[in-house]
């Protein structure tokens, strides 16, 4: 299933993500804020019509890719879409976030929101696709598969898959490893937690200290990792480092134990045990 599934996703998702990005850009021009989330945390409770609409599009596209994809479980940020067509159990999970960074997207305070999908098993993340519709002139791609990570601008005059195929690979293992770790989501205690990270020998940084999206920063090696404490469906903190990884979204240990929430896009295997998750070097690393 591994090769067939990843081949399907990598062949068909880029065009779908480009459509989703166009929809997100258009909807952002209107009053699309919604209520309905009540965790008490502003970043998590932010919800727009775009979150629901883009997820509906993504889920429908995944459903229509056939039985191999429908045999996967779906971990979705929202409840919209034909989610009942997918498996309730199984090793393969497709984690999707239709609008990562909804609060800044909704409030128009930044353009680093992203559409993303991560395909994983308990052992590793096998495939990640991230599209940033308003990062750069025409949008920005980030894709991680096997030992290849690509990052670069979109070109809507060409097919989305062709654009990704033409992007140069990032030489992950030649990068200087950053000691900067993004700290976020600790309910008013981010600065305290960042100081604790620095005291441990790394450099804790806050969201206000970084420019642009987390994903390209990690892919390029400008950030070494991220420490998040999301309030939804998690019981514990999660630490992620970027040795070999291309992207990190909200990660954590669920109540069920060793799994991740939306998923982490990575070159390297995420492992989650107890209250922490880390990114060991990928098997193909030198």
pLDDT tens column, 190-220? 999 999 999 999 999 998 888 878 888 888 8
Confidence at residue 50, expressed as pLDDT on a 0 to 100 scale? 82
CATH tag for 2-166 (out of 3.40.50.850, 3.40.50.2000, 3.30.540.10, 3.40.50.300): 3.30.540.10
Contact status, residue 258 vs residue 230, Cβ threshold 8 Å = no
- pLDDT of 130 > 80? The answer is yes
Give the mean model confidence (pLDDT) for residues 83-107.
89
Contacting residues for 19 by C-beta, under 8 A, at least 6 apart: 57
Q: What percent of the chain has pLDDT over 90?
A: 46
Q: What is the mean pLDDT of the chain?
A: 77
Q: What was the pLDDT predicted at 283?
A: 29
pLDDT > 60? residue 277: no
pLDDT, residue 180, reads 93
Q: 105 near 24, Cβ under 8 Å? A: yes
Q: Is the pLDDT of residue 154 over 90?
A: yes
DSSP per-residue codes, 112-181:
--EEEEEEE-SS-EEEEEEEETTSSSS-EEEEEETTEEEEEE--TTS-HHHHHHHSPBP-GGGSPPP-EE
Residues 6+ apart with CB under 8 A from 188: none
Burial class (CB in 10 A: 0-12, 13-18, 19+), 133: buried
Model confidence at 32, in pLDDT bands (50, 70, 90)?
A: low
Q: Give me the DSSP letters along 189-216.
A: -HHHHHHHHHHTTSEEE-GGGS-S-HHH
| Contact assessment for residue 252 and residue 237, using Cβ atoms and an 8 Å cutoff | yes
So what's the pLDDT on residue 196? Answer: 93
pTM as predicted? 0.76
What pLDDT, on the 0 to 100 scale, is given for residue 10? 97
| Contacts of residue 108, Cβ cutoff 8 Å, sequence gap at least 6 | 28
Q: Is the pLDDT of residue 159 over 70?
A: yes
* Element spanning 15, H or E: helix 2-27
* CA quadruple 28, 80, 55, 105: dihedral sign: positive
Instruction: Report the pLDDT value the prediction gives residue 47, as an integer from 0 to 100.
Output: 60
Question: For the residues 90-97, what does the mean pLDDT come to?
Answer: 94
Query: Is the pLDDT confidence value at 85 over 90?
Result: yes
The residue ranges of every structural domain in the chain are 2-166, 172-278
């Amino acid at each position: 299933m591994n090769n067939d599934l990843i081949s399907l996703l990598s062949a068909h998702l880029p065009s779908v993500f480009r459509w989703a990005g166009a929809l997100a850009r258009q909807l952002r021009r209107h009053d699309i804020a919604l209520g309905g989330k009540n965790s008490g945390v502003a970043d998590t409770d932010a919800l727009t019509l775009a979150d629901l609409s883009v997820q509906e599009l993504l889920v429908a596209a995944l459903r229509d890719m056939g039985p191999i994809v429908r045999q996967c479980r779906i971990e979705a940020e929202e409840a919209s879409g034909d989610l009942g067509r997918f498996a309730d159990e199984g090793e393969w999970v497709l984690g999707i976030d239709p609008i990562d960074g909804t609060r800044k997207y909704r409030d128009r305070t930044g353009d680093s929101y992203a559409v993303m999908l991560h395909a994983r098993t308990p052992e590793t993340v096998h495939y990640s696709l991230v599209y940033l519709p308003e990062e750069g002139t025409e949008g920005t791609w980030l894709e991680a598969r096997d030992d290849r990570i690509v990052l670069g601008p979109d070109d809507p005059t060409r097919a989305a898959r062709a654009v990704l195929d033409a992007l140069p690979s990032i030489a992950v293992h030649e990068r200087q490893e950053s000691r900067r770790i993004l700290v976020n989501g600790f309910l008013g205690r981010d600065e305290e937690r960042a100081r604790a990270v620095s005291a441990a020998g790394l450099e804790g940084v806050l969201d206000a200290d970084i420019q642009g999206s987390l994903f390209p920063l990690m892919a390029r090696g400008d950030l070494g990792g991220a420490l998040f404490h999301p309030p939804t469906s998690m019981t514990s903190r999660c630490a992620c480092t970027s040795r070999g990884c291309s992207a990190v979204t909200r990660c954590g240990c669920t109540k069920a134990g060793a799994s991740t929430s939306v998923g982490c896009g990575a070159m390297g295997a995420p492992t989650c045990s107890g209250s922490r998750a880390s990114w060991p070097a990928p098997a193909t690393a030198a």
